[in-house]
Structure formats: structure tokens, C-alpha cells
Structure 1
Amino acid sequence: MDDIAFPTAGDTAPAAAPQNSAYRVLARKYRPQTFEDLVGQEPMVQTLENAFDTGRIAQAWMLTGVRGVGKTTTARILARGLNYEVPGEADRPTVRLTQEGTHCRAIMEGRHVDVIEMDAASHTGINDIREITDAARYRPATARYKVYIIDEVHMLSNAAFNGLLKTLEEPPEHVKFIFATTEIRKVPVTVLSRCQRFDLRRIEQPKLIGLLRRISDAEQITISDEALTLIARAGEGSARDSLSLLDQAMAHGAGAIEATDVRQMLGLADRARVIDLFGHVMAGRIAEAMEELAQQYAVGADPAVVLTDLADFTHLVTRMKVVPKAGDDVSVTETERVRGAEFAGKLSMRLLSRAWQILLKGIQEVQAAPKPLAAADMVLVRLAYSADLPDPGEALAMLRNGTFAPAGGGAPSGQGGSGGGGPSAHGPSGDGRPRLQAISGGGAAVATQAVARPAPQPAQQARPAVALANLQDCAALASEKRDIPMKVAIERQMRLVKFEPGRIEIQPTEDAPADLAGDFGRKLTDWTGMRWIVSVSRTHGRPTIHEEREANQEQILSDARSHPTVAALLSQFPGAKIVDVRVQVSEEEETVMADPLLVEALGEDDPDEF
């Protein structure tokens, strides 16, 4: 069977195998034999114990869960419990398998004549099911029940499922069915309704670490606690995956196994260095962040894994900000606990949420990129700019006290004032003032940068009457020209890929008309008196203006819901929802908030709404 379950180790090692015998991997050697050996599945065991004690034994069970949690092993142990028999001592189904019974060894080794195991991945048709339904009529040869274990049952064909329904609903009293699947949603509801369902849980990290420690001690392996923690994290709640990694670590490291050996084996970066990298990007030190990533890459760290570790630490800091006791988890190292608490006290929830979103998208980009290190560098750049972007309240305070410096003030340390190959950031725009432009990354506006347009020289051709810098300007122009359908199309059906004077690349949405790009280009040319070329790109563009507005609004509502006062108020009115968030300001503040510079910097249509 492909889904080999995982055993807990006893207090002592099993008998040593002869030297000339084939090596047995740990996942098979320490496979559970009884219900007590199953790690992390106590609710299921309790339910079965009550059912067996009261005689309320179901006709079929559905075991579901991620790979490696023990579905097939649980099915065999359940079949063993159903047929448990010790002459003169036990003659009824039970979960208390205190000693080896008459049928136990054959069942656990998958060779008992009355316990039939079938892999639905290779037996998907109606003929395979017909063999089961025909044989089910006959009583078991030696055991109490004839038990059919069907693994990966979701892979049966529709005809096979239909052929099984009648027998499954009214099976002979001597027949039991046990199904296992990793894709429970693909199993027809008509089958599910005829089974008792057990969702096998991922094994909690403390229990998984304890299992690995017992097995490593039984195998006389010298391995550090930190190395076991790294293996348990990589196993993601799967005992089989974790034991396979422990096997690999035993082969990788000679003698004592340390965390350094496991990191090298898995392509992980040192956890402390990941935290240093987090500190660099959160402080906007992009040069130091890129250098740190390059050094980790040089010693074998995978860029995608580094970003995943950054996302994990971001999640930890967020949890510690909301629930300070989250740092007491046994899987959290002392370094993570101390520095995580430090960051949780300094960083805002909005910034952490924004960093999480950027990292989620960035990990996918790095995994798909032909040059993962370069892609990871660009994710760090977006993160650094995100950390440098002030919150709306901070921007208002900075503007009021005169410390909001648009010209180059948004670039992280180590960056020049130029907009990355764009126009100079130190000259005035057409209206005599610097212009703030939102720079996006990871699906959300993450920084501000001064973009100035040099005034036209006398020898140059006069600038068109209308200057466009982004799709928001185009939508505003369409509104001014009373072309509401085009305004709606710009905001809801265009994902911007590239914007240059006279040339725009877009990715139309699925519901956009086929001639949208051509129509858009013709209208821009008519409106501005300047030739515009609008092309369709296969590159995935940024979210539409409408999607960004909705994301920003959802973030605002989320921040409001997390505020202690609002949360307490909502708890007093069950069913109440936040539908809008507004900031009450004085007349003086309202005048400041109406400033076009601040409106564009914050990316809001209405300066009164946050």
C-alpha cells in the first residue's frame, strides 16, 4: 500500500535484525501495531472504544487526512480490533489489543485471507467492484469479519461507486468496509452518507518531536533537539515524512547529527540569519538584505525556502503581537521567542499583514522563476519599500508637521532618488510640484517614491494638454470626457503590465471585450492629442483598480475588527458587522486631507475614508 502509516516507538528498540537482512526504513520498522501506538488520533480511538464496548459497530468507515498521518495503518489496526481473538481470553471486537491474537500478525502484515486490501488507484473499474460484491456474500474463512480495505477510494470510477452502493448500504452481517482517501471532496456524498467518517489529524509538532526522539534513542542516534525540531517542521504533521527525513539525516551526517547538518540537507538557512534578514527588510535596509540573502544562497540555502522561513517568522511575530503566549510553544526557539517579541512590539499589524501578502505571492514567483535568486531579490525590494510606507495616520501627521518629504523620501536606505530608470526625482512636475506615485508589488501598493517630470525646454515640442502617468489618470480622464463605459472598463477590466508615455501594456480580464485595447488606444489619442499604443500582454498584470480598492477596503475593515474597542463592541451585538470605516477630523485636518498630493500618495478616492 502506498499510504504506509506511522508508528510510535516503544521504550526499547526492537530486536536487532541479522546483519545480512535488508535494511528496513524507520517508517516501516516502527509502524504502529495497536490503537495506543497511534500518535495524535485520540478522539478517533475514543469513539471506536465506546462503539466496540456498546456493540454499536458501524458497517463502514471513511478515513481521511493528509499523506503520512496513518490512514492505512489505522485501517489495519481497526481490522485487527474487529477480528481480535485470543483463545480462552478474548472473543469479541475490542480496541484493547494487549497481546498478539490469532489473526493479528497476518492482518498487520497484509496477508490475511479475510482482510482484503485493494488500491483503488490501480483497480478503478466496475469489474473490480463486482468481484468484491460477489465475494462479500460468502462468510469469512477463519476470522470473525470479512474486512475490505480500499485505499485512495476517491479514484474509483462513477460506475464503480454506483456498483458499490447497494452492498455498502445493506452489507451481510459478516462484512465490514474501511475506506481511506486523501481527497475526501472527490468521494460521492452517496458513499459518505453510508460511512462513519474519521478525519485523521496532522500530528502536533510537540508530539511529533517526542516520537522522533524516542525512535532516535531506540536506534542509538545522537541528534540534537534543534535538529529534531527542524525535521518535525519539514514533516508538516506527517509522521511518515518526518521519519523519512530522519532516515535521510542518519545517512547524511556521520556521527552526531546537528542542526547545521539538517539545514544543509534540506536547503534551509540558519534560523538566526533568517531573523536578521527579516530585520533588514523591515527597517528598509535593502542593500544589507540582498547581501544577507546572497550569503545564505552561497552556503546552499534555497531562495524559495528562505522566503518561506521569512513568511513563517512573519506569522510568528503576528501571533505574538495578538497572543503573546504564542512564543511559549515548544517548537519556538529561544532566539525566535526573544527577537519575535521585540519585533511584535515595534511593528504594526498593517505592516505585518502587508509583508505576509507580499511573501505569499513572492514565494510563488520564486518557485516559477528561471533565476530564483534574482526573483527573491525583487521580493526583498518590495518588502523593503513596504516597510518604508507610512500608514495613513502617520502620513497625515508627517504632512501636518512638515516632515513629509516627497522628493526621494520614500526610498529605502541604500537607494538613490531616481525612480529606477524613470524620470529624475528632483525636478518639478507640470504643475510646479513634485508628484507622488504609488509603486505596487505583491498585489498591493507597498511604497511611495517621488517622481518628477522635468519642465519642457523651449527647443522641445510642447507637452500635450493632458499628461497621463497611470491607469487612474486614464480613468479620471474618461470621467472628465463623460465616457462612463470606458471609465468602468479601465477600472474593472484592465490589469496593468507596463505604462510608458505613449505606450501601455495591459492584461484584459476574462469578461473584457475583444477590442478593448484598440478602443482604449483610439480614445486616448483623441483625448490627449498624442499617439497612444495599447497592447495586450500575456504577462500577468497587477490587480485592477477596482480589485485594489476592494483589497484596501477589506484591509481597513480587518484592522477595525481587530481593534480592542471595536471587538468588544461587536461581542455585545451578535450578528453585527462593520460596513464602513471613517475617521472624524477637524476642519483644519479636513483641509490637509484634501491635498491632492496626499490623496494620490495614499491611493484613496475619498480622502475622508480609511
Structure 2
Amino acid sequence: MSDSPDQNDEPGLGLDLPEQTKPAADSHYRVLARKYRPQTFSELIGQDAMVTTLGNAIERGRIAHAFLLTGVRGVGKTSTARLVAKALNCIGPDGQGGPTINPCGVCEPCRAIADGRHIDVIEMDAASHTGVDDVREIIEAVRYAAVSARYKIYIIDEVHMLSKSAFNALLKTLEEPPAHVKFLFATTEVNKVPVTVLSRCQRFDLRRIPAEKLAEHFAHVAKAEGVEVEDEALQAIARAAEGSARDGLSILDQAIAHGEGSVTAAQVRDMLGQADRGRVRRLLDTLLAGDLSATLAQLDQAHELGIDPASLIRGLMESMHAVTRSKAGAKADLLQSAEERDAAAELAQRMSWASLHRLWQLLLKGLQDVNIAPDPHEAATMALLRIIHAADMPDPSALAAILAGGVAPASAAVPATVPPPSEAPVNAVTDFPALVDAIERQGRQLLGLQLRDHIGLVSFAPGELALKPLKPLGPDFPRELAAAAKEATGTAWQVRLTDEGGAPSLHQQEAMAEERMRAEVLEEPNVRALLDQFPEATLESIDQKEA
């Protein structure tokens, strides 16, 4: 037995350690949002108008010195800025090319910009470089020409976070930069960018990417990754992305990791805490049927499954939005299944516009309650129960008819028909002036003044008025007049405004009657003789004299 240590032993180590393996060179994983970042303008989805404008500007040599790219998160603002940097600095595979909307992607400038290592393309995050000193560094550097590129390009992300002094320091350079310098700004909150900066930039508003285009893009990514994803799962991810390609790719990345080689719609909904469309439709049916116990049972079941109450309310709102669009004759959502479109069309025929609008407002209020309540499940329960009980309430038109003593419209959901009063009218009137007098006796002098001065009578019948406005009246005038006439006479009145026909106003009629009476008095022989004897005398009424 040799006392000499083994040649593989290290001093101080007597442990039997497992063999250490070195990580593979290609084990570094890039998330899908970075891996599938657009490398050409043709890969930039949903921004065709901007690409066309940029292409024309580059082709005609009308390249602005500063661009401002604005839009919600994940629509491609920073990617577009890098593509513009490529387009302006591309030299082509042979090194002889010029600015182009289709950069080659193989020349050194293109590859260096794609890798983020080009010395003349400087990216700065304004969120962490907000001060005037950071901007002064840019101002000093722009005086020097580009090292190897055609243009020196500054990409400033989230530019709205620069301080006021930093913006002010940048203004002069931004307005008159050297010919070799281009500025590319990106922001999600363009309203926070000073107007003095906006006026010096060429602005591009990047749109939210439509859900159908996102679903198609995610399908290509899934195919490239060798993962099977259900169409319904792609649609669910596209809706959850809310127009953001980056958000959608992050959700897809998570869904692939969540599944086992494939992604199903159920997995996506479970991962996001969403309710499936079938569950939402069943819940909507119980709501419209007014089934309290079934509604509570479905809510409790969704709670046990971990479905977010806010997601459930949003699902109901999406369904009502689809029903409303169907009733209005609008084009159906391309991501809707045929079954969903048929269900929306069927509900659109059953529900009135008033019911649709009321249900939408109740759901919107319920979503607000769920978002602020300490217990979202309890808030969702109370919101849906409120909707069921509100179904027994009349809509405003029916309520007005009930208050006026009439019968509610057949489309209104009213527990019972309220009969008109059986007693005789309290203060029957036979003509329009008598009605105006009755309204004024109730203390409605302002309304009486409008009726005397601003209205011409078209037709009068007990309980019915047709009037011609001689001056602008408020939108609630017919309703106020009907209520005042009901209060003054004890009977229901229908008031209609029209632009056709109409007598002079009561005030004008009184003035014309007084003028006729004055003319008749002046024609009296005794009065004429008196006026001839006293030329300065005037004829006045007793009311005028007292006034």
C-alpha cells in the first residue's frame, strides 16, 4: 500500500464528488420574443402603412433627421428603430449598396446592428439616463462623424422619461443636427413628450396588431419550434396579447413550457386563469334566464377551478359586444367559431337595444367592482345578482310611460302593467293657452315663458301636443313638458316637436291682437279728433302705463 496520494487527488479534498460536466456551448436559451424579433421590414407585422411611408422616403432620398415611434408595448417600436438603422447603413453584400428599405442582412453593418454591437448605432434607455448630463454627452458626440457607417444613429427608448431640462438641452441639436446624424425615439406615452420635440420629429403611430394576424404569426413560430398548438389555443393567446406581439410570444413561450410537447386551449386557459367560451356562454344563458341558483353554482365552480373573476366578467362583456355587433350588422370577429357567431346572431334577435346597452353598463360596473373589491369572487357574485334583479326593472322609456300613467312598451321587462289612473282629470284644459296657464299655476314660470315666447302651436288635442320650436330648446324639453302637463292636468300627455307648420307664438299672437285693437281705437272719430287737437298725445294701454 502506497502512502503517496493519488495523482488525481487535490490537497484537502477527500470527498467522492460526482463528475462535473461543462455546459454545452449552445445551451443558452433565448426567449421567443427575442429569437423571433423582426430582422426585415417584411417580418414586421401589422405596420404596413409605416413601412410604405419609410420605403418611399428612403427611395426618394427624403429621409427625416428625427423619427418618433409611438404605440403600445410590444408592437415593434425598438425593432422598427433598429430596422431603420439597418436600412440607412446597409452597404449590400458587395459593399456598394446604398440606403434601402430591404437591407441585405449579410453585410457587416447589418450584422453588427442586429447583434447590437455597431459602434455608430447607439442605443440609450431614457428610463435610466434621464438627466441633462446624459443628453450633453450626445450633444458633444454628434459633432464627430461616424466611424464606419454612413450615418451615426441614436436610438432613445422610452424618450418620454427624459427630464424637462434634458429635453430643453436636446432641442437645438434635434432641430439642426449634422447631416451624418439621425435620431430615432420610441415611446409608449407620447402625450408626455413636449410639443417642441414632437414638432421636430417625423411621427409614426404603430398600431395594435390585429388578433387574427397575431394568431397567424404565433402559428408560424410554433411550427418553427416544432410544437403542436391548437388553433383555439392560438386564438386565446392572441386575445390575451391585446395587440402586442411581444406579450403574445411571452405567453406562447410559457404555454410551451407548461405543456408536454403540445399546447391545448385548456392548458392556456388554465395557465392564464381564463374561462373557456363554453363556460361563458352557459353563464350568460343563466343570467338572461334569471336563474339565481344556477348562476351562483357556476360562479362557485369557476372559483374552485381558479378562474379569475375579472376574466369571467370580461368574457361576458366580449359576448355582449359580439351580440351588439351582430345586431348592428357589423362583420363578425374572424377568431369566432361558427357556433359563437350563430349564438350571437340568435341573441341579437331576442334582445332589444335597450337591454343590450343596460346589460353592458351593468357588466362594466361589475368589472370595476371586481377590480377594486377586497374579495373579487364576492364582488363578481354581487355584480351578476344585480344584473338578474335589474332585468325586472323597466327601462327609462317604460318608466316614463309608467310615471305618466300610460302602459309600458311590450319590449320592457316590467313585473306588472301599471294601469292609468281611473279618476277624472284634476284640471281639464280645452286649448293650448289654458294648458300654459295651468302649468304656470304649478310654479313652472320658466317653462311657461318658453311656451309663450319660443313655441308655435301645430296641433292640440286632449293628451297630445304637436309644437314647432321657434328658438333652440334643450333635448329634454318634450319630456319636461309632458311631466309638467301631467302634473298640471292629471292626465298623460304626448309631446311631439316638428319643423312643419305652426302658428305664431302666444306672445306674438298677443302682440298682433294688441296692434289690431290699437288700430281700431285710432279709427274711432272721437279719438282721431282728440289726437288732431293734441298732436303730442300717445295711445297707451293701462298695463304699459303701470309698467
Q: Same fold (TM over 0.5)?
A: yes
**Helix, strand or coil for the counterpart of 2:185?**
strand
How far, CA to CA, are the matches of 1:585 and 1:136 in structure 2? 72
Aligned to 1:602: none
Query: Shift in Å at residue 389 of structure 1?
Result: 2.3
How far, CA to CA, are the matches of 1:189 and 1:392 in structure 2? 45
Tell me which of 158, 162, 178 is aligned to 1:156. Answer: 162
Does the CA contact (< 8 Å) of 1:65 and 1:71 recur in 2?
yes
Report the AA paired with residue 392 of structure 2.
D
Residue pairs, 1:70-469, within 5 angstroms: 70-86=76-92, 88=94, 90-323=96-329, 325-327=330-332, 329-392=333-396, 396=401, 409=415
Query: Shift in Å at residue 409 of structure 1?
Result: 3.5
**Helix, strand or coil for the counterpart of 2:334?**
coil
Aligned to 1:57: 63
Structure of higher CA gyration radius: 2
Does the CA contact (< 8 Å) of 1:114 and 1:147 recur in 2?
yes
Change (3 A) 1:585 1:170: closer
Change (3 A) 1:285 1:259: same
- Give me the CA root mean square deviation: 3.4
Tell me which of 69, 77, 90 is aligned to 2:75. Answer: 69
Query: Shift in Å at residue 272 of structure 1?
Result: 1.2
Does the CA contact (< 8 Å) of 1:79 and 1:107 recur in 2?
yes
Report the AA paired with residue 374 of structure 1.
E
Change (3 A) 1:254 1:609: farther
User: Could you tell me the percent identity over the aligned residues?
Assistant: 51
Aligned to 1:531: none
Change (3 A) 1:196 1:578: farther
Change (3 A) 1:217 1:200: same
Q: Name stretches of at least 5 consecutive residues in structure 1 with no aligned partner.
A: 1-16, 411-481, 483-575, 600-605
Aligned to 1:506: none
Does the CA contact (< 8 Å) of 1:150 and 1:179 recur in 2?
yes
**Helix, strand or coil for the counterpart of 2:238?**
helix
Does the CA contact (< 8 Å) of 2:124 and 2:157 recur in 1?
yes
Provide TM-score, normalisation by structure 1: 0.63
Q: Name stretches of at least 5 consecutive residues in structure 2 with no aligned partner.
A: 1-22, 417-442, 444-471, 498-547
Report the AA paired with residue 579 of structure 1.
P
Query: Shift in Å at residue 275 of structure 1?
Result: 1.3
How far, CA to CA, are the matches of 1:101 and 1:193 in structure 2? 35
Change (3 A) 1:178 1:402: closer
Query: Shift in Å at residue 349 of structure 1?
Result: 1.3
Aligned to 1:433: none
How far, CA to CA, are the matches of 2:487 and 2:172 in structure 1? 74
Over residues 271-300 of structure 1, what are the superposed CA-to-partner deviations in whole Å (9 max), with x where a residue is unaligned?
Answer: 111112112222322332222111122222
Query: In the alignment, does 2:475 pair up with 1:579?
Result: yes
Report the AA paired with residue 347 of structure 2.
F
**Helix, strand or coil for the counterpart of 2:239?**
helix
How far, CA to CA, are the matches of 2:232 and 2:473 in structure 1? 44
Over residues 234-281 of structure 1, what are the superposed CA-to-partner deviations in whole Å (9 max), with x where a residue is unaligned?
Answer: 000100000000011111122332111111111111211111211222
How far, CA to CA, are the matches of 2:282 and 2:113 in structure 1? 53
Residue pairs, 1:3-22, within 5 angstroms: 20-22=26-28
Report the AA paired with residue 323 of structure 2.
V
Over residues 482-523 of structure 1, what are the superposed CA-to-partner deviations in whole Å (9 max), with x where a residue is unaligned?
Answer: 9xxxxxxxxxxxxxxxxxxxxxxxxxxxxxxxxxxxxxxxxx
Report the AA paired with residue 333 of structure 1.
S
How far, CA to CA, are the matches of 1:19 and 1:342 in structure 2? 59
**Helix, strand or coil for the counterpart of 2:228?**
coil
Report the AA paired with residue 331 of structure 2.
A
Tell me which of 30, 36, 40 is aligned to 2:36. Answer: 30
